[in-house]
Amino acid sequence: MVRSGGRVVVIGSANLDVVVRVQRLPAAGETVLGHQLEEVAGGKGLNQAIAAALRGPCTFVGTVGDDEAGRILVDRLQRAGVDTTWVARVPGPTGRALIEVDAAGENRIVVAPLANARLEADTVRNALDQLAPAVVLAQLEVPLAAVSAAAAWAAANGARFVLNASPVAVLPPDVLRCCDPLVVNRVEASAMLGDDPAASAPDDGVGALADRLAGQVTSVVVTDGPRGAHVGTAERIRVIPAEPVTPVDTTGAGDAFAGTLAGALANGETLPSATGCANAAAARVIQLPRAQR
């Protein structure tokens, strides 16, 4: 099959993010006062598509509502140079994410999929048949049937399937085998393996997590914030260092990473080289408030 040169197709979610800044994140049952409120375009799929589009042609396949939020999200994608031909508008509300960000830039997020739950496997297959991308990038804020369809299409058509398995879900073995790479952070890696994330030492435990996951996938990337990323296959895992920065808001760092990784892979970069590009992109993002990105 003839491929679109370097094209990434992102199968994913688009949300209107409601972001509140707090001095510290509340404990269970506690109320704290926020001191800033923003509504910005977000969702893992949208964020990753915007990051991928910085490196080459990118199409977003997803579903938004017929409300004003849906219009805002489509406009944001188009302004970033993302092809929105395959963004469907459906009756009802667009997805939302409720995000708390503390003074250290750490966050806590709750996502309501809403229109994102309407993305269908047939739509994914039809889009990929027409677009014939080099790389297909997906996450898990849309129905698993849509993700499975993307993985199967990539396997059947010689495209590279990149899965950011977030939020964590139980995945069929055939989907895992297609992942090249599977992209997760340290906590998500522990959860996928059935471990207690708190039991994984941040300095020496991540390589072991990556090694265990590598036996289930074609390749794996386990990110670990300022400590970089563990990358590789069942034959070899290596560490790609992160850039030392002072974070302002870590929201979206993983999305910048995944989208940049996919874009770099579509341009022919090796997985370690693409991971270095992704680390740099994530470092740039977390030094800026959401409104300035």
Q: List residues with catalytic annotation.
A: 255
Count of residues in the chain: 293
Q: What are the residues whose beta carbons fall under 8 Å from the beta carbon of 103, sequence distance 6 or more?
A: 22, 23, 24
Angle subtended at Cα 210 by Cα 207 and Cα 214, rounded to the nearest 5 degrees = 140
Q: Which of 174, 253, 177, 187 is nearest to 216 (CA)?
A: 177
Query: Beta-carbon neighbour count of residue 276 at 10 Å?
Result: 22
Q: What is the largest CA-CA distance in the chain?
A: 56
166: region left, alpha or beta (phi > 0 left; psi from -120 to 50 alpha):
beta
What does the alpha-carbon distance between residue 99 and residue 204 come to, in Å, rounded to a whole number?
Answer: 30
